[in-house]
Amino acid sequence: MSLTLVDEEDGEQPVSLFDDPKVVGEVQEFVDDQAPRVFAVVQETFGPPEDLQIVAWGMTTKTGVEVISVHGGMRMGLQSAESALIFYRAGGSAIPRIFWVGGKDGR
């Protein structure tokens, strides 16, 4: 976005709206308010060996969530983060759980 101001001495000079600290602050607030929440799908597998690993990352959107496998090859658009869990049960030999970035104690 840009704004053109006319200076009588030099003629037209483009001025960026981003030069205005108030505008930058308002845009930052807007971005912060609209930012998606990010989560990990962490999978516990039963032994041997027992293991915990991040198997996917996801982010919320206005219409649902997007989930991408860390190993590639799978990308899903779902209604909720919890909907992703069924895809990471590994035939009942694993327990998946959602962990929100910035959450505490798995919330």
- pTM of this prediction? 0.73
Average pLDDT per run of 10 along the chain, which is 107 residues long? 55 79 92 92 85 95 93 93 92 90 74
pLDDT recorded at residue 37: 94
Q: Are 39 and 59 in contact (CB under 8 A)?
A: yes
pLDDT recorded at residue 67: 97
Rounded Cα distance between 73 and 21, Å, is 43
Residue 64 backbone zone (phi > 0: left; psi -120 to 50: alpha; other: beta): left
Q: What percent of the chain has pLDDT over 70?
A: 85
Q: Which amino acid is at 97?
A: R
